[in-house]
Structure 1
Amino acid sequence: MNSAEAWADPDRLRRYRERVFAERQALRTAFADPVGQQRRVLADLLEFNAGTAYGKQHGFARIRTLDDFRRAVPVQTYTDLEPWIERAAGGEADVLTADRPAVFFTSSGSTGAHKKIPVTPRFMRTTFFPFYYAAWAPLIEHFPDVLASPDAVLNLKHDPLTDPPTTASGRPHVGASQVDFGAAFGEPLSAEPGTGAPWARLAVPVAADRHAEKMYLRLRLAVESDVRCVIGINPAMVAALPYQLNLWWPRIVKEVRDGTLGGLPHRPPNPDRATELERLAHRHGTVRPSHIWPRMRALFCWTTGLASLYLPRLRAEFGPDVAALPAPVAASEGPVGVALDRHSGAGSLVVNAAVYEFADADRDLGPDTATLQPHELETDRDYHVVFSHVGGLYRYAVGDVVRVVDHRGGVPRLEYTGRANRSDHAGERLRDAQVIRALHSALDATGLELRNAACRVTESAHRAPGYTFAVAPRTEWRQDESDRFTALLDEALGRESAGYGTARTEGRLSAPALLPLDPDAFLRDWQAQVESGVRPTQVKDRLFRQDPRQWARLTGQDPERHGAAAP
């Protein structure tokens, strides 16, 4: 049975729904004893991996408590574990885990370097699949028609490879969205919604690194279907879709009329649909997803971080009643939180998946940083995430910062607020979350709207350095509005970061400057990165852009020649 047949099979859909809801219920049941769940996860990973090289070196067999574990294993990053991971990737057994990695997930992280995340069958069974299935529960519970047909979901991140790159030992080294979990781990029900659509496996040849062309081909096919849901996970992919529709519109319409795909014969010509699409363009001028897919119901992606600036207006482009459901708070390395209801951004901690520790986000993480357990977290506070799981990552600082929204069912609900990296030119120590909250504060106070924003520190020969904010207003701002927004942003940054306020008071930082861009500037920048060969899932919103090349690509300004941009 192929993917399309599987997603059209009523029995398969029944079993899929049952599995999704069963995993959600199992997680909710685990909330009755979160402390006990954490003890059991720790005991399991220690016992299972005690005989590994890492387990022997760190005395796993002697560890009994979390405090023992903290003393034996430092807080560490990918760089610290990389020598161990490379040994496993080279084929050595029993390095980090007693289970041989079947796949190595790739992750770009914040530096762009391609990590190798070991993925074992035991990790998938006990850590990954429970949260992964549960994540789909709100979508299929409240919008069951998204499973009405195999082509009802446009899954933008699904990107299977016929010849994936491999590690030295021959194991696939790919993104999570490029793995067939059924074939690799014996989980055929794990195929995501949208993986049975006609565009899930492209019927025409296209090079693996021609990501923009693959996105075009999928859109060209999807305009002939009744799409009800778009899955992006990375919200920048979802934001790019309306832009891409208009970018490729003439080509799309022509290929629908001719029945071609990428210029090759594919299906019978569809002049009626082509004419209908042309009428939509003539009537509306700018074609929006809501015009093409009037029965759109939901978007599934991260809803916090920089996406919180543009997602409300973006939703409207897909339809007036379209819901935005939050994707899990997770990374290639493992899960953190998963939304079990229709909360706009927060997910419940997956207490039965990993051992979780947290540290105050305003402090720098180090090997000996004191950490908190989940029950010790405070509402409305930001924390670094550190986790350990049976897949071989121990006290691993994933590099994400989360905010505690509330506590429900005995566990904290967390929302992703940004990466842990800081911008710290003059002691300001600014994090993503602080700047995003400051942007929201200034926007709320002025009634203005942004489609996206980025910033960098600008040097000047005549004054102290200061932040320049490149912003893409939804509509043009008057000069007095821009001035008012910039002043309010400066004040809000001072409230968010004591270091910023002090640096401003002492003259080590100048007032911020505003660099208005046109509304599509960030979308063009995103598209350019994808066309250069970067996978769309890895082209994420980036707030701090100190790299001159990144800044020049976004703004059209060479910061080395415009050092006096701040007035």
Structure 2
Amino acid sequence: MNSAESWTDPDRLRRYRERVLGERRRLADALAHAADHQQRVLAELLEYNAGTGYGRAHSFGSIRTLDDFRKAVPINDYAALAPWIERMAAGESNVLSADDPAVYFTSSGTTGAHKKIPVTPSFMRRTFFPFYYAAWAPLIEHHPDVLARPDAVLNLKHDPVSAPPTTASGHPHVGASQVDFGARFGETLSAEPGTGAPWGTLPVSVERDDHLEKTYLRLRLAVQSDVRCVIGINPAMVAALPYQLALWWPRIVKEIRDGTLGGLPHTRPAPERAAELERLAERFGTVRPAHVWPHMRALFCWTTGMASLYLPRLREEFGVGVAALPAPVAASEGPVGVALDRHGSAGSLVVTASAYEFLDADEDVRPDAPTLTYRELEPGRDYHVVFSHIGGLYRYAVGDVVRVVDHVEGVPRLEYAGRSTRSDAAGERLRDSQVLRALATAAGGTGLDVRNAACRFERPKGAAPHYTFAVAARGPWSTPETDRFAALLDTAIGREGPAYRAARRAGRLGPARVRRLDGEAFLRDWHTSVASGIRPTQVKDRLFRQDIAQWERLTGAPGAARG
């Protein structure tokens, strides 16, 4: 169901809207009975998987309550479940789940190793699809013209592969965006907006890992369409798009004029459109998405994390009044929250999908750590997420931290706050979310415009250990402005992180330092990563960067300046 013809079928569009809005309505209705749904999800996964190897080893058949479940099953991370998953990937049945995985999602862990996330038909049916369809509801309800034509949406994450890598048992091991849910799971309405566009399946041959050329070819085709919406999920992909337009502009215009795609004959030459595009660049001195696509309506991506710093300015690149709609709070392993209205960052807990537990984000995630239920969460607090679902992940610590914004029907609305990994070289125990909030405070207190940032713990000779922040700035910063930003940042980190404040007072840490980079430094670095063969969906904003080669690549970019 990824063909352009399918998206032009009025009956298909009607049924798609009904499914999306219907799933959103059912999830919203479930909030009023959240406790019942949580108990049902737990009972169902225990009964369904009681006869599996994992279920027998942990006495699923005798568990009746969440307290029983906590006593019988430790909190797991991927490493803890990896031996079980590898048995499944090798072809063994009835290991973690009663039904065999149909595919394995790939996901980059904190070490960079590719996980194998088992995806079973029961997981897709009970956990994934209701949330997946509902996630599109705010977009199609409030911006219905994005479905008016197959090429009205530029879906940056859509990346089908004809010959996917497989596990030892022969099952595909791919990213979620590379799976045809219609063919694999019989969900004929599951094709995402934009997948039926002319660039949904590239008409020219490209090496599988040449992701940068794939990105160029899709953009080259999209420039000739009236795009209304950009879907990225990963906001770094959306942030890269204006840079790519400028970078590839001469090549794009030439290919439109010549009617080529990747240097090969493609369509009839369009010298009129090429001339129009050249006039736009001459008139404005540069070219922006708003110039190429004047009817742009919405961006669909994560709006929190590092994106919360650069998204307001990024939206201006796409046009006045362009909406930024939050992608769901989710991982390859399963959903957590989905926006059921037009809230700019948060989504309601998907109470029908998994049995959820939480830990205070300042606590360590241990196998025996005490957990909280959704009813015990407080607004303005950060929490680790632990979930269990029918697909075979039990008390699984997904590695994400969420922040509670408020409650609807007694159920928390959550926004993604960052990864749960800490930087802790001197007892400072810093998390993504703490530093991101401090960066926002420093930017707000100085009026300076931060486009992206990363940091590294350093132990220089003859000076106290400290954090150095590489900050991409929009426009020049004077030395006094940079010094003021660094001072405010250091104070704000201490306010967010008591352990950092204690380390500073004890002299184990010196004050934070700031290294100014030019505004395109992180975009160049993103392109370098993609050019190395990493899929764009997996090249995300990363705050803590201890790899010295990657740090030097970022901060040594042409135009870098020291503060």
Scaled by the length of structure 2, the TM-score of the pair is: 0.98
What are the superposed Cα offsets for residues 6-56 of structure 1, whole Å, 9 maximum, x if unpaired? 101110000000000110011011111111100000000000000000000
Give SS of 1:510's match: coil
Structure 1 residue 409: deviation in Å? 2.4
Alignment partners' CA distance in 2, 1:180 and 1:110: 27
Alignment partners' CA distance in 1, 2:272 and 2:25: 47
In 1, are the aligned partners of 2:516 and 2:562 still within 8 Å (CA)? no
Give SS of 1:321's match: coil
Matches within 5 A, 1:411-490: 411-490=411-490
Q: Which residue of 1 aligns with 2:181?
A: 181
Alignment partners' CA distance in 1, 2:133 and 2:322: 22
Alignment partners' CA distance in 2, 1:380 and 1:302: 19
Alignment partners' CA distance in 2, 1:342 and 1:476: 35
Alignment partners' CA distance in 2, 1:540 and 1:198: 26
Q: Which residue of 2 aligns with 1:150?
A: 150
Alignment partners' CA distance in 2, 1:2 and 1:513: 49
Structure 1 residue 566: deviation in Å? 10
In 1, are the aligned partners of 2:359 and 2:385 still within 8 Å (CA)? yes
Equivalent residue letter for 1:446: T
Q: Which residue of 2 aligns with 1:107?
A: 107
Alignment partners' CA distance in 2, 1:426 and 1:229: 45
Alignment partners' CA distance in 2, 1:319 and 1:463: 47
Matches within 5 A, 1:116-195: 116-195=116-195
Q: Which residue of 2 aligns with 1:514?
A: 514
Alignment partners' CA distance in 1, 2:562 and 2:435: 18
Give SS of 2:394's match: strand
Q: Which residue of 2 aligns with 1:282?
A: 282
In 2, are the aligned partners of 1:305 and 1:436 still within 8 Å (CA)? yes
Alignment partners' CA distance in 2, 1:111 and 1:556: 24
Q: Are 1:88 and 2:91 counterparts?
A: no
Matches within 5 A, 1:374-389: 374-389=374-389
Structure 1 residue 410: deviation in Å? 2.5
In 1, are the aligned partners of 2:228 and 2:297 still within 8 Å (CA)? yes
Structure 1: unaligned runs, 5 residues or longer: 558-564
Alignment partners' CA distance in 1, 2:118 and 2:369: 25
Structure 1 residue 2: deviation in Å? 6.1
Q: Which residue of 2 aligns with 1:320?
A: 320
Matches within 5 A, 1:218-237: 218-237=218-237
Q: Which residue of 1 aligns with 2:548?
A: 548
In 2, are the aligned partners of 1:28 and 1:409 still within 8 Å (CA)? no
Q: Are 1:55 and 2:60 counterparts?
A: no
Alignment partners' CA distance in 2, 1:555 and 1:12: 50
Give SS of 1:190's match: coil
Structure 1 residue 445: deviation in Å? 1.0
Q: Which residue of 1 aligns with 2:67?
A: 67
Alignment partners' CA distance in 1, 2:90 and 2:9: 41
Alignment partners' CA distance in 1, 2:292 and 2:224: 9
Alignment partners' CA distance in 1, 2:85 and 2:2: 35
Alignment partners' CA distance in 2, 1:457 and 1:410: 41
Give SS of 1:485's match: helix
Q: Which residue of 1 aligns with 2:345?
A: 345
Alignment partners' CA distance in 2, 1:190 and 1:168: 28
In 2, are the aligned partners of 1:232 and 1:238 still within 8 Å (CA)? yes
Equivalent residue letter for 2:329: V
Alignment partners' CA distance in 2, 1:566 and 1:313: 24
Give SS of 1:33's match: helix
In 2, are the aligned partners of 1:466 and 1:566 still within 8 Å (CA)? no
- Runs of 4+ more than 4 Å apart: none
Structure 1 residue 556: deviation in Å? 1.2
Structure 1 residue 141: deviation in Å? 0.3
Alignment partners' CA distance in 1, 2:502 and 2:4: 60
Q: Which residue of 2 aligns with 1:560?
A: none
What are the superposed Cα offsets for residues 512-564 of structure 1, whole Å, 9 maximum, x if unpaired? 1110001000000000000110000000000000110110111118xxxxxxx
Alignment partners' CA distance in 2, 1:119 and 1:2: 21
Alignment partners' CA distance in 2, 1:161 and 1:289: 27
Structure 2: unaligned runs, 5 residues or longer: none
Equivalent residue letter for 1:214: K
Alignment partners' CA distance in 2, 1:495 and 1:449: 22
Q: Are 1:214 and 2:214 counterparts?
A: yes
Structure 1 residue 109: deviation in Å? 2.4
What are the superposed Cα offsets for residues 414-437 of structure 1, whole Å, 9 maximum, x if unpaired? 000100000111111000000000
In 2, are the aligned partners of 1:513 and 1:566 still within 8 Å (CA)? no
Alignment partners' CA distance in 1, 2:30 and 2:429: 38
Equivalent residue letter for 1:111: T
Matches within 5 A, 1:189-338: 189-338=189-338
Alignment partners' CA distance in 2, 1:118 and 1:365: 23
Give SS of 2:151's match: coil
In 1, are the aligned partners of 2:237 and 2:537 still within 8 Å (CA)? yes
Alignment partners' CA distance in 1, 2:434 and 2:286: 35
Scaled by the length of structure 1, the TM-score of the pair is: 0.98
Alignment CA distance shift 1:95-1:171 (3 Å): same
Alignment partners' CA distance in 1, 2:325 and 2:404: 18
What are the superposed Cα offsets for residues 393-422 of structure 1, whole Å, 9 maximum, x if unpaired? 000000000000000122100000100000
What are the superposed Cα offsets for residues 109-140 of structure 1, whole Å, 9 maximum, x if unpaired? 22211000000111000000000000000000
Alignment partners' CA distance in 1, 2:2 and 2:420: 42
Equivalent residue letter for 1:457: F
Alignment partners' CA distance in 1, 2:501 and 2:2: 59
Give SS of 2:511's match: strand
The number of aligned residues is 560
Alignment partners' CA distance in 2, 1:474 and 1:369: 44
Alignment partners' CA distance in 2, 1:351 and 1:481: 47
Alignment partners' CA distance in 2, 1:51 and 1:566: 61
In 2, are the aligned partners of 1:458 and 1:566 still within 8 Å (CA)? no
Alignment partners' CA distance in 2, 1:218 and 1:112: 27
Q: Which residue of 2 aligns with 1:19?
A: 19
In 1, are the aligned partners of 2:2 and 2:191 still within 8 Å (CA)? no
What are the superposed Cα offsets for residues 342-372 of structure 1, whole Å, 9 maximum, x if unpaired? 1110010000000000000001100001000
Structure 1 residue 322: deviation in Å? 0.3
In 1, are the aligned partners of 2:235 and 2:307 still within 8 Å (CA)? yes
In 2, are the aligned partners of 1:467 and 1:566 still within 8 Å (CA)? no
Alignment partners' CA distance in 2, 1:167 and 1:228: 38
Alignment partners' CA distance in 2, 1:524 and 1:188: 39
In 2, are the aligned partners of 1:512 and 1:566 still within 8 Å (CA)? no
